Amino acid sequence: MKVSNLKLLALLSDQTRLRLLAILENQELSVAECQEVLNTGQSRISSHLSQLKATGILKSRRDGQRIFYRWNPEMDANARHLLDIALQAAQEIPSAGHDAKTLELVLRKRQQQSLQYFNTIAGRLGKNYCPGRSWEAVGHLLVQLCEPLVIADLGAGEGLLSQMLALRAKKIIAVDISQRMVEVGSELAKKHGLDRLEYRLGDLENPPIKNDSVDLVILSQALHHSIQPQRALDAAYRILKKKGRICILDLNEHNFEKARELYADQWLGFSEASLFQMLQKAGFRDIKISIVSKEKEAPGFQTILATGHKS
């Protein structure tokens, strides 16, 4: 997208806008999170973000009641060059160091909210309701598996799915960020003699698994808990062997805002189009996406099954 140099230079003369661009360079943030990092009023932050979006250097998306902003990946090279220079200047702003530290805290708080939730329900996931987890949906995923494979189950929780697949797989690595989940899962695997199943503590955006080492990556109702789902899909691509496969079960895009509080969801599901774009950006090919489950009770969650291959 072509950006007017004159308008861009005028925008970059404001320190608040420079600070916003600096914290949005590598991640997507909500208006409230931008406000928290810069310690500035909501109306002022929203005004600056709207101006930056109007020039085409930021993009926004609505997720329930929240609006998120990020750099526009389609901005022209000249605008990007000017922004790179501006970001160097932004480091001279007295509050730059404080902004970076506060941003780190804000992102950590996101992660801690999910971690606290999953530590609390460890040992009870099989009994508690979890949106999108239905045998109908899981059955569609299991149909995709027809031979012994090396499998990575990312964001596995207690690993109920991994435990089922461990009866047939060559090896399963179940990764979860919750220490308690890993402990509970490991205890269950040992109790049931599942010696092909290994639990590892780690983030699905940076799983503790070697590159090019697994045949199949599974993300079962896990991606919407990721702070940056694109990074999770990029990581899945890295750890897959050539021609390896990814299988994703996740919620279709919805507006049930309470899911953030009830289930520690970071995202209110994903549209089929957005999930397709993220998989394609990660490098996957032969991508197929469909809705495989529709819950009758309110709020009527729908489950998406997405598959793809590493080229």
At 220, which CATH number?
3.40.50.150
Is 125 among the domain residues?
no
Q: Which carries the bigger pLDDT value, residue 79 or residue 23? A: 23
pLDDT tens string 154-183: 999 888 888 888 877 889 999 999 999 999
* For residues 53-69, average pLDDT: 88
Predicted confidence band of residue 109 (pLDDT cuts 50, 70, 90): confident
Say whether pLDDT at 132 is over 80: no
Do 189 and 113 belong to one domain? no
Give the separation between CA 161 and CA 197, rounded to whole angstroms.
Answer: 11
Which of 64, 92, 120 terminates a domain? The answer is 120
Say whether pLDDT at 2 is over 70: no
Is 126 among the domain residues?
no
Of 20, 64, 56, nearest in space to 38 by CA: 20
Say whether pLDDT at 5 is over 60: yes
Do 112 and 30 belong to one domain? yes
Determine the longest span between alpha carbons in the chain, in angstroms.
Answer: 67
User: What percent of the chain clears pLDDT 70, i.e. is strictly above it?
Assistant: 90
Say whether pLDDT at 262 is over 80: yes
Is 270 among the domain residues?
yes
- One DSSP character per residue, 37-84 reads HHT--HHHHHHHHHHHHHHTSEEEEEETTEEEEEE-TT--HHHHHHHH
- CB distance 2 to 72 below 8 Å: no
Of 167, 239, 166, 171, nearest in space to 202 by CA: 239
- Domain extent at residue 74: 5-120
Counting the structural domains of the chain, the total is 2
Exposed e or buried b per residue across 148-159, where buried means at least 16 C-beta atoms within 10 angstroms of its C-beta:
ebbbbbbbbbbb
